[in-house]
Amino acid sequence: MLDRRRLEAAATNSSVGLLADNVLLALLRQIGQQSLRDRDRQALADAHQLLHALTELRRDEVATGSVLRTMAPLTALDESTTALASALSGDMASEIQRHMHTIDNILSGQADADAVLQLQTFFERLAQETLERSRTTFSSPREELGEWTKKVSIY
């Protein structure tokens, strides 16, 4: 059975992973020169809001805002920053700013193709990172597996 922290981590990873997937779908439409749907625009706006929140919050502050509120309360900030930091390739603050600028440009119809591809790469890494973190969350540590085996063997 998962404890509260692991459940919150799983919920956070699922939320961030779903957001990353939705942003990737929007970016694929953008790259294919298709018009963005309302859902695409909302995913990009949510991603921008999440990135902005992460530039302003420290790890010891309470997570707020509509995007962060959809995640589990106690571990949302820690899980989100860890997953995002793992997906970033360079200086976290400058890369986040660059990605936020790219999202702004996409939403205003002035996107640079190279910047969109860099944003796509970032969200692909983020989606992969959250998937891997979710797998890790749900895999039982050996100690718990050993305890479970002992309990089952008694019956």
> Measured between alpha carbons, how far is 145 from 28 in angstroms, rounded to an integer?
42
Query: In the prediction, which pLDDT does 91 show?
Result: 67
Whole-number pLDDT of residue 15: 81
**H or E segment to which residue 107 belongs:** helix 92-107
pLDDT higher than 50, residue 59: no
- Res 33 pLDDT > 70: yes
Region of poorest pLDDT, from 7-11, 35-39, 113-117? 7-11
3-class DSSP state of 64 = coil
Helix 76-87, helix 38-56: angle, nearest 10: 100
pLDDT digits (tens, 9 = 90+) for 83-141: 666 566 666 778 888 999 999 999 999 989 999 999 999 899 888 888 777 777 666 55
Task: Look at residue 48 in the predicted model and tell me its pLDDT.
Answer: 94
**Could you give the CA distance from residue 82 to residue 2 in angstroms, rounded to a whole number?**
20
What stretches of 57-91 show up as alpha helix (H) in DSSP?
Answer: 66-69, 76-87
pLDDT band at 22 (very low <50, low <70, confident <90, very high): very high
- How far are the Cα atoms of 10, 30, 51, 151 from residue 102, in angstroms, in the given order? 29, 12, 12, 54
